[in-house]
Chains A and B, each alone.
Chain A
Amino acid sequence: MIGRFGGGIAAVAASEMLARAARLDPMAPRAPHHAPKAKAVISIFCYGGVSHIDTFDPKPLLAKRAGEALTGKGEVVVPQGTPGGLMPSPWEFKRYGQSGRWVSSLFPHVAQHVDELAFIHSLTSISNDHGPALFQMNTGSIQAGFPSMGTWLTYGLGSESENLPGFVVFTDHRGGPIGGAPNWGNGFMPAAYQGTQFRSTGDPIVDLLPPKDLPPERQRRWLDLLQKLNQEHAERNPADTELSARIAAYELAYRMQSHAVDAVDIERESEATKKLYGVGEEPTHYFGRQALMARRLVERGVRFVQIYSGGGNFQESWDAHWDLKANHEMHCGETDKPMAGLLTDLKARGMLDSTLVIWHGEFGRMPISQRMDGRDHNPYGFTVWLAGGGVKGGVAVGTTDEYGYRAEEDKKSINDLHATMLHLLGMDHERLTYPFNGRQMRLTDVSGELIKPILA
């Protein structure tokens, strides 16, 4: 309860200063609190809620007790009601790598990388409803209106790219997640820190380029006139930094037009690289392009890239309320090879050490059946994995109970996950604050502890 208010008046002043510096030049690189392990984050968000017990957290007991009631765990709460008995996983699990981590047949390519992955099997979240759970995973709060992870990072560290936004979001081609833009929103922080939505076909940013039927030099011509007029105006008001900042923003915008197009131009990649990501083949083409674009963006200094897998309605997201088999086979099929390709590619380019990859959904799924062959939402215990910058590969933290229903050992919260992410990026989650309506706000609100076993 101390944390929300920081340490009082002195902290208020310090955070006012950061907030002010951020206002003047929002994207200027700023010093971290301590030496960072990672420079950038790629978040792969399995929207709808990926099942942990069918992917990385095997529960053989489900097959042994198929159809029996889930008992001895208190009241079983399922958001959509009508709980069934225990339902076995339709997939086989095997051990992989030196670490011998379990992976189901849904992720054959990712399985080859288990020694690079750190699993958290005991993550918990508060809400079993998509909207609040998405907000919590992205912003730490189940309410809308709070700054998202990428916002906090670009606010705290600025951006290393002079020509691109610091925080980029790719949504699924079938639609965006519930809750919409507040999932990558800046909340109460300046708009400079909001996630910029990139499209994965056509121009990457809405309104990035002038109409195709106009020769590009026309725009340069009127921008030159604009800067002449602005310059004359600025000469009459020499001390006004806001005016010069706005002049600079137009130059950056102009550069961004070519750089953003270049950043997502995967045609410049070799055939071998494209193949690695499953680009040009189904069902991996779409997600593969996004994963490859994410690497290109991180390479160019973008701080935080988030890719949503799944979107739209019903089976289009990972939200497998029925026919889990078809649902997860589709979504894993789309993402398995590109994710493995991303890890391979990052490693080959020496970028994995400085790039933190996080794979997660907004919650896991229930061990009991729903609508006979699906699984309902489960926020009480689920799996995420991290890889890359500063992460110890092959480790696993925490467990769920024998059914995969609730986190049992080393229960972790999303605040803990966020604290750990910030730590890897060189930020102390208790010191990264922003003043708002009388409070020193934090990504981790009033709690959050480092998940130390996964730190390299």
Chain B
Amino acid sequence: MFDDKAARPIRRNRLLARYNVAAVTRCTHLLVFFSLLSAPLMGGDLEQQAYNILQKNCFGCHGAGLKTSNLDLRTREAAIAGGERGEAIVPNYPERSRAYLFAAHAQKPAMPPGGELAEAEVDILERWIRAGAVYPVAEAVKEDDAARKAALAAMEERPVTEKERAFWSFRKPVRPEVPNNGEANPIDAFLRAGWQEKQLTPSKAAERRTLIRRVYLDVLGLPPTPQQVNAFLNDASPKAWETLVDTLLASPHYGERWARHWLDLVRYADSGGFEYDRDYKQIWRYRDWVVKAFNTNTPYDRFLKLQLAGDEYEPDNAEAVVATGFLRLGPENNIKTEQTRMDELDDIVSTTSLSFVGMTLGCARCHNHKFDPIPQKDYYRIQSVFYSTRPREYPLVSADEVERYKAEMKRVDGLVKPLAQRKEALEKPYREQIFAERVARLPDYMQLAWKTPAEKRTEGQRLNARQIERTLQIEEKEILERMSAADLAEHKKLTAEVEALRKNRPEEYETAMVIGEEGREPLPSYFLHRGSPGSKGSEMKPGVLTVAAEAEPVFPAPPENATTSHRRRGFADWVASSDNPLTARVMVNRIWQHHFGDGIVATPSNFGKTGMRPSNQPLLDWLATEFVASGWDMKHMHRLMLTSKAYRMASDDIESNLKTDPRNRALWRMPRQRLEAEALRDAMFAVAGTLDLSQGGPAVLPYIDPALFQGSSKRTWNGKPEDDRTTWRRSLYVFNKRSIRYPLFESFDQPDMITSCARRNTSTTAPQALLLMNNAMVRMQAAAFAGRLRKEAGDDAAAQIKRAFELALMRPPSPSEMDHAASFLAKGGELALAEFCQTLFNTNEFAFIP
């Protein structure tokens, strides 16, 4: 805010200097006094000058194309009549004329938006209004539709210049020469070149025990077992590390770990948020699709294409259709208006651009992007890609089964109907009686409204009578209390019959949450001036980010038998194209970020001007071109990074480097990374030996203290009454409810799943400590860990301590650690072992990837 802060006082000072009063608007009498002293200069062309200023700066939004705020400044009459805020021009009184006050930045909103008039121009407006605000004889104001459309279209254009296209991230990466400095892995070669340039010393190689802990937690999100540690320590082969890396990348748990990173980006949750926070019972199928895509090494271009348009690429492939669940992940507003639909689309457009191409396109919803060369029109062209989509519950069973289900439902409903009618008839006399009694208790004016014959009612009486008719509710209970014994018996019998029929309705078939469209013809969508659905501009054709496309891509016409517009497919073809300058860079940067703690671009979802520049662009570009050349092979990229020497550096600081590169941007050491909430929970369960490693399927709802979500029936957490084994699955499978967060996850910075998150916060707080100190689940796992130690190490304290360190920290205790632990156990009695286990869960070493 610095520069506009700096500008405002100058502007204010100017006004103060002019009037020499403190509060311009409240001292009207003073103003009049001053205005008498400063006789207005009546320049011959003052009228024309003022008109020109208005035309240039104001008519765009307050003229032919738009009448923003219902204001038209093109004629004197219209300007005096004003808009929603009131009069815009009060002839002879600039200090009461909003048009002047806004233009002089004496009142908000300052006008014109995003700019400001020169001081001389403000002066002209002031003098002109004081002189009566006479408009020059201008050509007649045109109000025809063609002129309006032309004016709108002109406002919507914002050309992108060649200079803007030259920004580093908008130019397609060119594969750089790998520095020839003796390093075998190109990553190491590029990094070494960077260290040499800045005279940094790289860290030494990390120990094998450190490495195996690091790579397991990083690649699988799980700690290695002592057997796995020993196997690696004892592998004398020169390819021991490469073998380990390959083993991990082939593990099914790799997909679970890396799906979690992806789910942060696409703000995956198992419920809809907003007022009702409805549970999404089927959305887990999308989550499982992501896990499988990572595990089967689906090429990244295909991975993106299916999420955007799987139904258009492969309509007969259920998995491809399930992938479009991506477009259902956003929060779901229960209020359905044009505005909330625009908000939903904004969420999709923003999430897609942040996650897939690292651009803050959402900033161009109301105006051209302030920093990046992204025209507002790009936003609405891309919005039109998604505009026709609508929710669809996709049957995962055959069409026959769906038909059978519908037929059976219809049959049952047909049987219920006559029974329900008989019930209603039975209730009718009682209902009428109660109704009359209740009306008699209403205020006089209400009773009068009810008694007055319909045709004689006033407007108010009509409303109140309708309100009585429609909202005077009588509960079944009240009716049953009055029923005769015979009627009551009959009523009960009918109710039982209806319930019996309903109970036998068939179970609904399995579905997936996906999207569809109404047909081949897309719905028309429009440029929205200032982002307002009330200010529609030109109709939009689908498009892409102009600055990141060498040529305007052609959106193919949908095939004859298509059920959708194929706009998403056209868009996906651009996103996942090898010509796209952003997509590959953005994804290799994300993979890098998770392995090495920080991205080469440290703002992983913002490759624009306000984002960080790459710390090593040749490295980033080499990786991006390698990614595309490998056929968008994600495991290939993992392997390249994991087998680099850089990945195997120690995380220790080096004093001399701290002066030149304290933030380790040149990656001269491995940074230590705190375990994410989910990995921390998984590690506790794994070490305790209680983790259920089964994969996929509906989410589990572990116990949450009801004090955290008590009361409201609109939000439910159908959790277990206490922690039990059926919920001891990996954290990926814990139900993600938007309004009721799992406390451990919330506390340890799991993002809120409402907006795309590219990099988690890592805050360190006392409530985190309290949770690991006192939470029943943590204590339960510590007890299980103690039980495991007794089983595996017997009753000998030293053996228990040694085993505990091996299981939790992948190393034997140091002599002093052994001493501390031994004396702790010796004096602590029966409970001490579990307390010792909980101590290990709480150590810094346990909470960090080394």
Contact = CB atoms under 8 A, between A and B. Distances in A.
Interface string B663-705: 0000000001010000000000000000000000000000001
Interface in B335-364: 335, 343, 350, 354, 360, 362-363
B1 A431 contact: yes
A1 B449 contact: no
Contact of A1 (B113, B445, B674, B779): B113
Contact of A229 (B114, B773, B843): B843
Interface in B182-203: none
B843 A233 contact: yes
A381 B694 CA distance: 55
Interface string A217-243: 011011101101110111011111011
Contacts of A210: 773-774
Q: Which of A180, A250, A430 has the most CB of B within 10 A?
A: A180
B526 to A, nearest CB: 20
A129 B335 contact: yes
B768 A232 contact: no
Given A219-B773, A369-B464, A69 B459 contact: yes
A218 B460 contact: no
Given A14-B2, A84-B464, A311 B610 contact: no
A34 interface: no
Interface string A77-112: 000001111100000000000000000000000000
Interface string B714-745: 11000000000000000000000011110100
A208 B770 contact: yes
A63 to B, nearest CB: 10
A205 B767 contact: yes
Nearest to B472: A372
Nearest to A130: B275
A437 B756 contact: yes
B828 A221 contact: yes
Interface in B616-659: 651-653, 658
A1 B658 contact: no
Majority DSSP secondary structure for residues of A touching B: loop
Interface in A406-422: none
A234 to B, nearest CB: 7
Interface stretch (A53-61, A182-190, A339-347): A182-190
A447 B463 CA distance: 39
Contact of B471 (A82, A233, A252, A311): A82
A194 interface: yes
A237 B738 CA distance: 38
B766 A249 contact: yes
Contacts of A430: 1, 5
Nearest to A83: B463
A131 interface: yes
Interface in B109-160: 109-110, 113-114
A68 interface: yes
B464 A85 contact: yes
Contacts of A188: 751-752, 755, 757
A207 interface: yes
Interface stretch (B365-373, B380-388, B480-488): B365-373
Nearest to A253: B769
B283 interface: no
Contacts, number: 332
Given A67-B445, A207-B743, A197 B755 contact: no
Given A191-B749, A208-B770, A437-B606, A372 B467 contact: yes
B797 to A, nearest CB: 14
Contacts of A209: 774
A156 interface: no
Interface in B759-800: 761-771, 773-775, 779
A312 interface: yes
Given A2-B4, A7-B5, A209-B774, A85 B445 contact: yes
A261 interface: no
Interface residues of B, number: 123
Contacts of B605: 437-438
Contacts of A296: none
A395 B847 CA distance: 54
Interface residues of A, number: 115
Contacts of B335: 127, 129, 132
A86 to B, nearest CB: 7
Nearest to A163: B766
Contact of A232 (B460, B739, B816, B836): B816
Given A82-B466, A225-B824, A182 B738 contact: yes
A191 B761 contact: yes
A144 to B, nearest CB: 5
Nearest to B447: A67
Contacts of B362: 437
Given A253-B766, A437-B354, A181 B746 contact: yes
A242 B674 contact: yes
A285 interface: no
Given A67-B445, A144-B752, A373-B442, 13 more contacts: A67-B446, A68-B458, A82-B471, A144-B754, A191-B747, A191-B748, A207-B743, A225-B839, A249-B769, A313-B712, A372-B442, A437-B758, A438-B371
Interface of A: 1-12, 14, 23, 26, 65-69, 71, 82-86, 127, 129-132, 143-145, 165, 171-182, 185, 187-192, 194, 196-197, 199, 205-211, 214, 218-219, 221-223, 225-226, 228-230, 232-234, 236-240, 242-243, 245-247, 249-250, 252-253, 256-257, 311-313, 316, 322, 368-373, 430-431, 433, 437-440, 447, 449
